Chain A
Amino acid sequence: MILSTKARFDLHGPKPFLKVKLIYAALISVFYALCLFSFSTIAIASHDTYRIGLTPVFLHDQSSALKQWQSYLERQLDAKVEFVQRDTYGEITDLLLGRHLDAAWICGFPYVRHNISLQLVAVPVYEGEPLYQSYLIVPNSDNKTRDISDLKGKVFAYSDPDSNSGYLVAQVAITSKGFDPKHFFQRTFFAWSHRDVIEAVAVELAQGGAVDGYVWETLKTIDPSLIKRTRVVMKSKKFGFPPIATYLGIKPERLNKLQKAFLSMSSDSEGQLLLQRLNLDGFMVSDDRLYFDILAAANSIGED
């Protein structure tokens, strides 16, 4: 811009020296003023960034959907949004508890565990209600297994020790059959995401797995060939859907803004498109009662 201005001066031929000098000085000061202004806006923005943690409760490897969701939320919040992803539930929970995150999409199990320090922002609505199930899956080649007790002495894949659907539900099921979950399987391992549990079962690395029903159903349309290689043996009762939670003590206006941003998704077309990609109906406000069943389950195996 400065260069083009200078070029225009040159076009008008030589000017008296002092006049030219004054105009240069003015231009330089305007430039500095602009620079200072832009720095201050960056500083303001960094202060006003919403850091949202994501766990593998959903398909967090869908980068393009995440990007879209991020820019959507940035517009809704009128602030910068940063998604923070970690491989385990534990890391995200720790970040949230340490107030390094403004909110996080965590599982109901860590939520009830750390209920004393956390509060709900919004709960996803899936198939008309804020509920989901845990699925017990086996490889499609296995047509014998009818119950988790048929998997005794086999290799079993959990998703995460902090997952309700991918760990706690299975533990409770084994315990309710009168077995000790520690010695029930020949071997167990954590695949750290629901999708990987499905894959571990599909390739028969594990003969059984506990998985988030919502993830399994969503993958049915995204990756049908993977899903076809697994079979659902049992569906658990319905539990509260993994919520968007924040730490207790967050500024009310931040909480409100966040809540509004999530809740408004179902009311505009871009948000609906996003929800469609996430295979959700929307978000709603709920309370802790939604997660009593998870709490009870955790208590029943002494995990709390």
Chain B
Amino acid sequence: MLGQMSYRYKVPLVMVFTIIFTGLIVTVIMTWRTVEDLRDELFHNAIKVGTVINDTLVSALKQDNVWLAYQTLENASAQNDGLDERVFIMLTNDYTVYASDHPKLFPLNSELRSVNAEMARLEAHFLKFNSLEPYTYEHPSNLRIYIVSPIIDDGVALGTLIVGYSRSILLPRFYAIVKRVIFALLAVMLILVPLGAYMGKRMAKPLTKLAHCLSRVGKEPPGKISCSLHEGDDEVGQLGVNFRNMIKELAEKESLEKKMVESERLAAVGRLAAGVAHEINNPLGGMLNSINTFKHHGSSNDISDSTMSLLERGLCQIRETVSALLVEARVEGHPLTPQDVDDIYTLIQSDARLRTINIEWQNNLHETVAIPSTQTRQILINLSMNAVQASEEGGSVWCYINREQNDLRINIENDSGHIDENRISNMFEPLVHDNPNGHGLGLWVTYQLVRQLNGEIDVKNDTGRTIFSVSLPLERAA
């Protein structure tokens, strides 16, 4: 049960259990110590009393004065030093009761063994263990602890004095200790339980947070899981660091996978489209040639002329579409110059002006870069035209062209607003378009061109802007 419990409760509970356990051990030790002390105290008390009354008892025995013996024991018993329930028994050497302060319990002249089982045990002990030194006799089934000391006159034992202490006098002391320990425990608990609760909460807080965060892994995309966990060198802190790293890696992995899937899909679509375009392109050329031949050599009349013209226009449109789909790699001789880039600015300005769109054009190229100009220009035209068209009237478009160490970077931004995530994921698919006037191939073609140049293209939303960023690797100087 404890294993399932939250640390918030487990820590204070464990503390309480520890306190109780410690208290129990302390009680046991203190009780044991007290019992030992009490036993010593009883022994010394009995010896003291025995020493004080020894001479009187000797003369009582010598004069056979029972009454003197009784009175002596009675007086000794009355001065009980707070040790209640004492019995004094005076024995002759043949173990008969000579006197006792409790004559009813220990009748005069009775044989010790005939008094009760306890006394019989005591007498049996005497027979085995005869000593001139005082000693303590205890037996688990005895009601009393007996301290036995001989009544000595001139080195000779005339009789025996037995002082019996009720074992029940240990009980109140035991209870007193238990009471004291319980009070101490309560006091300690009063301090430690809230402390334990606080510590438990403190300890559990990062753990519960981590547990909560971990439970989100797998259910939510890693990029969306943002947890501010305690980070540090301790175990929990290390967990926090590792968790953050794990989430980061997971997010990277996921986006990588996503990109791979996307590019594979786009490649497949591209292959399909190119295949279809080829298959269409071949007969298309034949058809257009036939129309051309018919126009020059065929008998013409109005109907055939208009039909042929219609056919030709239709086939030309098909050819345009197909040729756009084909994206043929026409490698041209000259590399990209800064002028090429500025030409495109000039090219799109008319459209922009028409729609009062502000263009901020930053061409940071100052020299020719080793990159095919045709495809690059096409990419630039496509993206910047796309941005202009996507912008609303009065909007802005930003174009940044930078040369970096091994790349050409093109960033085209506009403030058309947020693009839906789903839309972004199929942004580069063919025939998917937002512009009713376009054929929906612009971005697809751009993508194909970027891929031809071994570059990368990405689109993202950033604070109200849609950003297309293209990175094209520079060709190595041969």
Residues of A within 8 A of B (CB): 155, 157, 186-187, 189-192, 196, 200, 203-206
Size category, B interface: 10 to 19
Contact present for A155 and B107 (CB under 8 Å)? yes
Q: Is B104 an interface position by the 8 A CB rule?
A: yes
Q: A203-B104, A205-B99, A205-B103 are in contact. Are A187 and B70 (CB under 8 A)?
A: no
CA separation between A151 and B211, bound complex, in Å?
Answer: 92
Residues of B within 8 A of A (CB): 64-67, 70-71, 99, 103-104, 107-109
Contact present for B109 and A200 (CB under 8 Å)? no
Main secondary structure of the interface of B (DSSP, over half): loop
Q: Please indicate which of the listed interface residues A192, A204, A205, A206 has the most CB atoms of chain B within 10 Å of its own CB.
A: A205
What 16 new A-B contacts, CB under 8 Å, besides A157-B67, A187-B66?
A: A155-B107, A155-B108, A155-B109, A186-B109, A189-B65, A189-B66, A190-B67, A192-B67, A200-B67, A200-B70, A204-B103, A204-B104, A204-B107, A205-B66, A205-B99, A206-B108
State the Cβ distance, A90 to closest chain B Cβ, in Å.
14
Can you give 10 A-B contacts (C-beta < 8 A)?
A155-B108, A157-B67, A186-B109, A187-B66, A189-B64, A200-B67, A200-B70, A203-B104, A205-B66, A206-B108
Contact present for B70 and A205 (CB under 8 Å)? yes
Q: A155-B109, A186-B109, A205-B99 are in contact. Are A196 and B67 (CB under 8 A)?
A: yes
- What residue of chain A has the Cβ atom nearest to residue B66's Cβ? A189
The answer, among B64, B65, B108, for a CB contact under 8 Å with A205, is: B108
State the Cβ distance, B358 to closest chain A Cβ, in Å.
123
Q: Which residues of A contact B71 (CB under 8 A)?
A: 196
CA separation between A204 and B67, bound complex, in Å?
Answer: 12
State the Cβ distance, A171 to closest chain B Cβ, in Å.
18
Q: Please indicate which of the listed interface residues B67, B70, B104, B107 has the most CB atoms of chain A within 10 Å of its own CB.
A: B67
Q: Which residues of B contact A192 (CB under 8 A)?
A: 67
CA separation between A206 and B109, bound complex, in Å?
Answer: 10
CA separation between A190 and B71, bound complex, in Å?
Answer: 12
State the Cβ distance, B47 to closest chain A Cβ, in Å.
25
CA separation between A186 and B108, bound complex, in Å?
Answer: 10
State the Cβ distance, B318 to closest chain A Cβ, in Å.
138
Contact present for B67 and A187 (CB under 8 Å)? no
State the Cβ distance, B212 to closest chain A Cβ, in Å.
81
Contact present for A191 and B67 (CB under 8 Å)? yes
State the Cβ distance, A278 to closest chain B Cβ, in Å.
25
The answer, among A186, A190, A196, A203, for a CB contact under 8 Å with B103, is: A203
CA separation between A5 and B231, bound complex, in Å?
Answer: 106
Contact present for A187 and B109 (CB under 8 Å)? yes
State the Cβ distance, B101 to closest chain A Cβ, in Å.
8
CA separation between A187 and B70, bound complex, in Å?
Answer: 15
State the Cβ distance, B77 to closest chain A Cβ, in Å.
11
State the Cβ distance, B97 to closest chain A Cβ, in Å.
10
Q: Which residues of A contact B107 (CB under 8 A)?
A: 155, 204
- What residue of chain B has the Cβ atom nearest to residue A139's Cβ? B104
- What residue of chain A has the Cβ atom nearest to residue B100's Cβ? A205
Contact present for B109 and A189 (CB under 8 Å)? no
State the Cβ distance, A15 to closest chain B Cβ, in Å.
67
- What residue of chain A has the Cβ atom nearest to residue B99's Cβ? A205
CA separation between A298 and B330, bound complex, in Å?
Answer: 166
Q: Which residues of A contact B109 (CB under 8 A)?
A: 155, 186-187
CA separation between A18 and B70, bound complex, in Å?
Answer: 76
CA separation between A206 and B107, bound complex, in Å?
Answer: 8
State the Cβ distance, A148 to closest chain B Cβ, in Å.
18
State the Cβ distance, A174 to closest chain B Cβ, in Å.
18
- What residue of chain B has the Cβ atom nearest to residue A189's Cβ? B66
Q: Which residues of B contact A200 (CB under 8 A)?
A: 67, 70
State the Cβ distance, A203 to closest chain B Cβ, in Å.
5
CA separation between A189 and B103, bound complex, in Å?
Answer: 14
- What residue of chain A has the Cβ atom nearest to residue B105's Cβ? A204
Q: Which residues of B contact A155 (CB under 8 A)?
A: 107-109
CA separation between A91 and B350, bound complex, in Å?
Answer: 157
CA separation between A198 and B64, bound complex, in Å?
Answer: 20
State the Cβ distance, A87 to closest chain B Cβ, in Å.
10
Q: Please indicate which of the listed interface residues A155, A189, A191, A192 has the most CB atoms of chain B within 10 Å of its own CB.
A: A189
Q: Which 4 A-B pairs have the closest CB atoms?
A: A189-B66, A205-B103, A191-B67, A187-B109
CA separation between A187 and B66, bound complex, in Å?
Answer: 10
- What residue of chain B has the Cβ atom nearest to residue A203's Cβ? B103
CA separation between A43 and B107, bound complex, in Å?
Answer: 56
State the Cβ distance, B121 to closest chain A Cβ, in Å.
24
CA separation between A187 and B67, bound complex, in Å?
Answer: 12
State the Cβ distance, A161 to closest chain B Cβ, in Å.
13
CA separation between A190 and B70, bound complex, in Å?
Answer: 12
State the Cβ distance, A210 to closest chain B Cβ, in Å.
14
CA separation between A203 and B108, bound complex, in Å?
Answer: 12
State the Cβ distance, B110 to closest chain A Cβ, in Å.
9
Q: Which residues of A contact B99 (CB under 8 A)?
A: 205
CA separation between A191 and B67, bound complex, in Å?
Answer: 5
CA separation between A181 and B291, bound complex, in Å?
Answer: 172
Q: Which residues of B contact A204 (CB under 8 A)?
A: 103-104, 107
- What residue of chain A has the Cβ atom nearest to residue B103's Cβ? A205
State the Cβ distance, B367 to closest chain A Cβ, in Å.
132
State the Cβ distance, B444 to closest chain A Cβ, in Å.
123
- What residue of chain A has the Cβ atom nearest to residue B108's Cβ? A155
Q: Which residues of B contact A157 (CB under 8 A)?
A: 67
Q: Which residues of A contact B70 (CB under 8 A)?
A: 200, 203, 205
CA separation between A200 and B108, bound complex, in Å?
Answer: 11
Q: Which residues of A contact B64 (CB under 8 A)?
A: 189
Q: Which residues of A contact B103 (CB under 8 A)?
A: 203-205
Q: Which residues of B contact A205 (CB under 8 A)?
A: 66, 70, 99, 103, 108
- What residue of chain B has the Cβ atom nearest to residue A196's Cβ? B67
State the Cβ distance, B91 to closest chain A Cβ, in Å.
15
CA separation between A44 and B153, bound complex, in Å?
Answer: 49
Q: Which residues of B contact A196 (CB under 8 A)?
A: 67, 71
Q: Please indicate which of the listed interface residues B64, B66, B71, B99 has the most CB atoms of chain A within 10 Å of its own CB.
A: B66
Q: Which residues of B contact A191 (CB under 8 A)?
A: 67
State the Cβ distance, B59 to closest chain A Cβ, in Å.
13
State the Cβ distance, A108 to closest chain B Cβ, in Å.
23
Q: Which residues of B contact A187 (CB under 8 A)?
A: 66, 108-109
CA separation between A186 and B104, bound complex, in Å?
Answer: 16
State the Cβ distance, B373 to closest chain A Cβ, in Å.
135
State the Cβ distance, A156 to closest chain B Cβ, in Å.
10
State the Cβ distance, A234 to closest chain B Cβ, in Å.
22
State the Cβ distance, B57 to closest chain A Cβ, in Å.
15
State the Cβ distance, A138 to closest chain B Cβ, in Å.
13
- What residue of chain A has the Cβ atom nearest to residue B109's Cβ? A187
Contact present for B104 and A189 (CB under 8 Å)? no
- What residue of chain B has the Cβ atom nearest to residue A193's Cβ? B67
- What residue of chain A has the Cβ atom nearest to residue B64's Cβ? A189
CA separation between A186 and B111, bound complex, in Å?
Answer: 13
CA separation between A209 and B111, bound complex, in Å?
Answer: 22
CA separation between A187 and B65, bound complex, in Å?
Answer: 12
State the Cβ distance, B165 to closest chain A Cβ, in Å.
20
CA separation between A191 and B103, bound complex, in Å?
Answer: 15
State the Cβ distance, A158 to closest chain B Cβ, in Å.
10
CA separation between A202 and B99, bound complex, in Å?
Answer: 15
